[in-house]
Amino acid sequence: DPNAEYLALVKGELDLISGTEGGFLNELLDPLGRVREKHAKHIRVLRAPALATDYLGFLLDTSLAAVRESPWRDVRLRKAVSLAIDRERIVTHLLHGIGRPARSILPPGLPGGWDVGNTPLHDPDRARALLAEAGHPGGEGLPPLVLTTTASYLDICEFIQHELAAFGITVQVDVVPLSTHKQGVAGGDFLFFRKNWIADYPDAENFLLLFATANSAPAGPNYTRFSDPEYDAIYDQALRSTDDGLRLALYEQLDSTLQVRTPAVFLLHPEVVRFVRSG
């Protein structure tokens, strides 16, 4: 029981606990992820980036009738949604500063990311402009958009629902059991869904594989079923290359393609957290 472990840590009965499950985070941490003053003398928080990314996927397989009629086929709408979401607020308001906003599928510090300079991650004006370009000024003409998730991510999805409502985009959050979510995402049942990926090894390829056509669901983890021949060719070249410099340059091209084509909204990079008794 995470809450019982937390109480034992506060009492000095445990020296270390791991994870952020349980209801104790608000008691222990402020919105920036710092230990609150009343506990600061005795408890330290240790954090490290996880090789993981949380994202919102768009189903893009046009062989499916539902996708052919889906508003998500328009990249301008997908980009507008990405730019409308304030990831920093998710981290501070819901996660107590634990985690990092995501611009890319690649976690911070993993070589191969595309350098976009000072391009803002949250840009409401650009989001509104893209909505208008897509033929939906102020969300006009858009049907309610169903976002499918599990109960453990309901708070984040409801936050996103609220954020997008300010742009005239109506989102209906559909909470399903974990088994239903897993089967439905793999089976192409959901047009818009919350998903995450935890890497098996610390190489950008283990994230970039999520968007290769050969890895399309249900057989593989390309749950968006994004398909781009140029992306596939570069990905295959990177797999074959034994030149580290060339491979990283190819990874950057792949990351650039994903940020331009927006098959998913990359939300957050989780962190591994430990709380240590210090005295």
Residue whose C-alpha is closest to residue 231's, from 204, 251, 203: 251
Q: Residues with Cβ < 8 Å from 21, sequence gap 6 or more?
A: 2
Report phi then psi at 264, rounded to 5.
Answer: -155, 155
- The reported pLDDT for the residue numbered 117 is 64
Domain ranges across the chain = 2-48+273-277, 52-267
- The reported pLDDT for the residue numbered 279 is 63
- The reported pLDDT for the residue numbered 22 is 63
Cα–Cα dist 167/165, whole Å: 5
Q: What is the DSSP letter of 37?
A: T
- The reported pLDDT for the residue numbered 115 is 72
- The reported pLDDT for the residue numbered 195 is 98
Q: 10-residue block means of pLDDT along the chain (279 residues)?
A: 80 80 75 82 84 97 96 98 97 89 91 75 97 97 97 95 98 98 98 96 96 97 98 97 95 95 96 83
Domain spanning 52-267: CATH 3.10.105.10: yes
Residue whose C-alpha is closest to residue 190's, from 53, 55, 57: 57
Torsion of CA 201, 207, 209, 211, to 10 degrees: 170
3-state DSSP assignment of residue 266? strand
Cα–Cα dist 214/80, whole Å: 28
Query: Backbone dihedral region of 94: left (phi > 0), alpha (psi from -120 to 50 degrees) or beta?
Result: alpha
Which residue is listed with tokens 């098959």? Answer: 263
- The reported pLDDT for the residue numbered 146 is 98
How large is the angle between the packed helices 75-84 and 154-165, nearest 10 degrees?
Answer: 110
The amino acid occupying position 149 is T
pTM of the predicted model, to two decimals?
A: 0.90
Cα–Cα dist 234/61, whole Å: 21
Report phi then psi at 96, rounded to 5.
Answer: 55, 40
